[in-house]
């Protein structure tokens, strides 16, 4: 018996939701299977699963890399689910949500970058989604990719390449000349400023996310010890229950994992837009294009 259109739509929805959930579940399973039992406080970086031999330097495959790729797959299927069944005129809640996200992202790009950069909306949306969901993975007990400086540095290098690309829109000579502005003596400072851009973007995002995770772990561990010290006299298993851990760690998690993670995603996206748009010599580019058109006439 052939399925009708409504049944097909629901089946595809279920498959797409499975594509959203399964990669995250796989990340949780990997965490459980490959994390050894530890006593006390244990703060460490991403675990290295294996190393790929390379000509110059071996490439370690880490927990943060695996979680990043699993999250990318999950976000991909989430986008497919949210856009499944879209029509010219929105008639579903998910399509209204999608249109709202697109409108807000377009408005953000238009306000901070200008009409010339409206094609950046998908990129900015991807940066926001990947950064935000990466930080939220810590709520599931999974190592957050944003807690790894290597992941954030990769994003920052990509942004740096975009900055350089738009700075060179008027040609390599114009780009090199910009290092001597406003005066030639500023050349060393301008070079340092150029290098500092990806470095500052990396450490700002990574530092805030990683420090929040460490603070939450330390406070939770301290409350467990304090609970045993103060309430350890209770009879039986009651003395083993960390009553003082109830409540405060959850509140801290809401701040460090949710609010701070969302805030850092927004800040990274804002810096990306400001740096790229600020690097583009719009007036010089317009004058150069005008000279080209005049030459071709």
Indicate if the alpha-carbon torsion angle 138, 140, 142, 145 is positive or negative. negative
Judged by average pLDDT, the poorest of 26-30, 40-44, 134-138, 235-239 is: 40-44
Confidence at residue 1, expressed as pLDDT on a 0 to 100 scale:
44
Asked if 122 contacts 102 with a C-beta cutoff of 8 angstroms, the reply is no
Minimal CA–CA distance to 98: which of 84, 113, 77, 118? 84
- Residues of the chain with pLDDT > 90, as a percent, come to 29
- With 0-12 / 13-18 / 19 or more C-beta atoms within 10 angstroms meaning exposed / middle / buried, residue 213 is buried
Maximum CA extent, the chain: 94
Tally helices (H) and strands (E) across the chain.
10, 2
pLDDT for 225 equals 72
Over residues 71-99, the mean pLDDT reads: 90
Per-residue buried b or exposed e for 89-111, using 16+ beta carbons within 10 Å of the residue's own CB:
eeeeeebeebeeeeeebeebbee
Please give the DSSP secondary-structure letter assigned to residue 246.
S
Query: For position 75, what pLDDT does the model report?
Result: 95
Alpha-carbon distance of 152 to 268, in angstroms, equals 10
Inter-residue contact 255 to 142 (CB < 8 Å)? no
Alpha-carbon torsion, ordered 146, 150, 151, 152, to 10 deg: 70
pLDDT of residue 41 exceeding 60, the answer is no
Length of the chain: 297
CA atoms within 13 A on the CB side of 250: 4
**What does the pLDDT average to over 160-183?**
85
């Amino acid at each position: 018996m052939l399925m009708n259109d409504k049944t097909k739509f629901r089946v595809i929805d279920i498959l797409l939701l499975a594509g959203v959930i399964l990669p995250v579940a796989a990340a949780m399973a990997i965490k459980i299977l490959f994390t050894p039992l530890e006593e006390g406080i244990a703060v460490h970086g991403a675990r290295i699963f294996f190393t790929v031999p390379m000509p110059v330097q071996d490439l370690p495959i880490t927990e943060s890399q695996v979680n990043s790729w699993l999250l990318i797959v999950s976000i991909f299927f989430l986008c497919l689910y949210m856009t499944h069944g879209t029509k010219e005129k929105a008639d579903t809640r998910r399509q209204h949500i999608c249109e709202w996200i697109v409108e807000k992202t377009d408005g953000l790009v238009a306000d901070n970058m200008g009409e010339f950069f409206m094609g950046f909306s998908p990129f900015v949306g991807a940066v926001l989604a990947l950064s935000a969901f990466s930080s939220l993975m810590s709520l599931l007990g999974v190592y957050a990719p944003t807690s790894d400086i290597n992941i954030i540095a990769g994003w920052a290098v990509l942004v740096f390449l975009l900055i350089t690309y738009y700075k060179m829109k008027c040609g390599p000579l114009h780009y090199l000349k910009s290092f001597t502005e406003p005066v030639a003596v500023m050349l060393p400072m301008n070079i340092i400023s150029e290098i500092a851009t990806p470095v500052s973007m990396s450490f700002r995002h990574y530092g805030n996310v990683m420090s929040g995770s460490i603070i939450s772990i330390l406070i939770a561990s301290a409350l467990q010890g304090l609970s045993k010290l103060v309430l350890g006299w209770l009879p039986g298993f009651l003395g083993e229950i960390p009553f003082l851990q109830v409540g405060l760690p959850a509140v801290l998690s809401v701040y460090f994992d949710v609010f701070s993670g969302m805030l850092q995603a927004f800040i990274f996206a804002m810096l990306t837009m400001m740096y790229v748009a600020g690097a583009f010599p719009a007036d010089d580019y317009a004058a150069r294009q005008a000279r080209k058109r005049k030459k071709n006439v």
